[in-house]
Structure 1
Amino acid sequence: MALKAAMAVTGVILVLYLIAHMYGNLKVFLGQEAFDGYAEELRDLGYPLLPHEGFLWIARVVLLSAVLIHIYCAVVLTRRDNRARGGASRYQVTKRVQRTYASYTMRWGGLLIALFVIFHILHLTVNVIAPGGASDSPYVRLVNGFQPEYWYVTLFYVAAVIAVGFHLRHGIWSGAATLGFNRADRQGKINAVALAVALVVTVGFLLPPLAVTFGLVSNV
């Protein structure tokens, strides 16, 4: 139970981060000044109580801890579940389908998300991978990286974000059950909330790169 609770709590932290990150990404539609200004504000958030980029480093430590705890709990719980089943085929077809859905959205989808996060950090955060050219401007890095000639970057981004959406949909439902909110009389509402959050986050993250790829946002 402790592992499931830890997984649910860290999941909440990650969902809140995704929503905040999505909000920042959408500022790309306000232009370079607004987008770069927002990025700079994050570096100075909490100053002078915190040093320059102090808030970002605290957030990074919290997020990294949440991710590692989340993955650890997922791996341990998966192994326990597999041992408990013992590979038997006595489960009903519907249960096998549910396990398959959970497997692809939470395990394989999680692996795709992890690979994407590494690429995303190298691309848009530390500026090591720079399709379209490196830049000190977060706005320019984003616009350069999703130009039509780099369609494979956009495709990878779209696939990862869709995986995030499935992960959120199933994760919110499972987390609500773990935290005791998923009672019979609330299942419809929780399902609607999980679906709504997943759709909002998915669409919100897809809008900026697709807008760049299709010429709706540019450096001009």
Structure 2
Amino acid sequence: MIKESTLSPDAATVREVVPAGDYWMHVVRKGQTFRILDLKGNQAADTLFYSAADPAERYSAIDTIMAQGNVYLTAGTVLMSSEGNPMLTITADTCGRHDTLGGACATESNTVRYALEKKCMHACRDSWMRAVAEHEEFGLTKRDITHNINFFMNVPVTPDGGLTFADGISDAGKYVEMRAEMDVIVLISNCPQLNNPCNAYDPTPIEVLIWD
């Protein structure tokens, strides 16, 4: 569902551009709103969410899909935790659909999906591993990398229940906006994938904004 935001970027307390292939890690406090902005179009932002109070509680694709009865995320979706608690609510969305099934790219999946020689290519899991290593204050390790959301990524479900990775449906300037229902650690990998049509084979920067 397309729903535009009423918030002005000029009023944001945080505005950070995240280059393609880099990560962004930040605590978003309860009641704050944050936006992921697709600056150039067709970029995928692979995102993990954790409770800041207890990172063992984190975003759950299973609970979110079950609660809303839909595999796609958009305005009005409540992102549920592994403990069945609301973590964030999508309050605005100008893309219209986001993937919660396709998972994140990794060196292993690159070899399965594409070719053995693609294993050395940078992947979202690499970005997350670097983030948790460089930010020990969050208390996360590689064992905490679980369900993620692929914002702006187009992964249609086939009639027989399979998944396909298709051309992105986002465009330059489109965004998704969420209100935090608890203090959350947000970890984004701005996907470096060069083999996936969801990135238009050309990874580009995103911008992240936060409002109090």
Do both proteins adopt the same fold according to a TM-score greater than 0.5, normalized to the shorter chain? Answer: no
> Where on the TM-score scale, by shorter chain, does this alignment land: which range?
under 0.3
**Which structure is larger by alpha-carbon Rg, 1 or 2?**
1
Instruction: Tell which has more relative contact order, 1 or 2 (C-alpha 8 A, sep 6+).
Output: 2
Instruction: Determine which structure has the larger strand proportion and give its number.
Output: 2
Instruction: Determine which structure has the larger helix proportion and give its number.
Output: 1
- Calculate the TM-score normalised by the size of structure 2: 0.24
